[in-house]
Amino acid sequence: MSEQKVLVIEDDRDIAELVEYNLSREGYQVTRAYTGEEGLQKAKTIKPDLILLDLMLPGLDGLDVCRSLKRDSDTDNIPIIMLTAKSEEADIVAGLEIGADDYISKPFSPRVLLARIHAVMRRKSEPPPEGMVPLSFRDLSIDPGRHEVRVAGTPITLTSTEFRLLHFLAQRPGWVFTRDQIMDSTHGEDTVVTDRSIDVHIAGLRKKMGPCGKYIETVRGVGYRFHDPETA
């Protein structure tokens, strides 16, 4: 296999050395970091293919490290597997919600760890399913896989309905959709979308998008369309 880079952020040196030994035998290039701050610095420097991240770190803990990595456009696409001695479900859920790809509880066997790494690496290399391909328009990026929208590199917070609405329009730039079509596309279990509320959602979405709000155009008497700025 080609040598892929793995960053191990783990304050227990014995565990870090054991992980490095087993990964090196499989052909991985391993770099170690013993604190959250050191891990962040090395992640930005070496741009690893995967990060093994302990949640129980001194100083900056694992959740804060994960959050920082996922907020940085230079590192947000690096898969993260959390290493945790904690049994609390809340910590695992919190890590997955802010972008971690998987977790493994200590103590773990090298075979299990390698299997998890291979699985995450395989998912990373597979093409995204239809409808999950990230979209980019100048200062606006939409990542359906991460349910994330960025304006000029800064994440913005959207409701589930706002995200579905924006993604639906942006998938077909220039196409005009009626409110009924938009209603069908944005229907979800968390909210009831009506013809009249579409206008309210559009207004809120434009406001949150700031200067990129102009990409959503009103077509009087019909509905809305997404304007690709590159076609201007």
pLDDT value of residue 119: 84
Q: What is the pLDDT along the chain (232 residues), one digit of tens a residue?
A: 458 999 999 999 999 999 999 999 999 999 999 999 999 999 999 999 999 999 989 889 999 999 999 888 889 889 999 998 766 667 777 787 777 888 888 888 999 899 989 888 887 766 555 667 889 999 999 998 888 899 998 999 887 788 889 999 999 999 999 888 888 777 654 444 555 678 888 998 999 999 999 999 999 888 999 998 876 5
pLDDT value of residue 193: 52
Domain 135-231, classified CATH 1.10.10.10, yes or no: yes
The β-bridge relationship of strands 102-105 and 80-84 is parallel
pLDDT value of residue 190: 42
pLDDT value of residue 199: 87
For the chain, the three-class secondary structure string (H helix, E strand, C coil) is CCCCEEEEECCCHHHHHHHHHHHHHCCCEEEEECCHHHHHHHHHHHCCCEEEEECCCCCCCHHHHHHHHHHCCCCCCCCEEEEECCCCHHHHHHHHHCCCCEEEECCCCHHHHHHHHHHHHHHHHCCCCCCCCCEEECCEEEECCCCEEEECCEEECCCHHHHHHHHHHHCCCCCEEEHHHHHHHHCECCECCCHHHHHHHHHHHHHHHHHHHHHEEEECCCEEEECCHHHC
Domain with CATH 3.40.50.2300 in the chain: 5-125
5-125 belongs to which CATH class? alpha beta
Domain with CATH 1.10.10.10 in the chain: 135-231
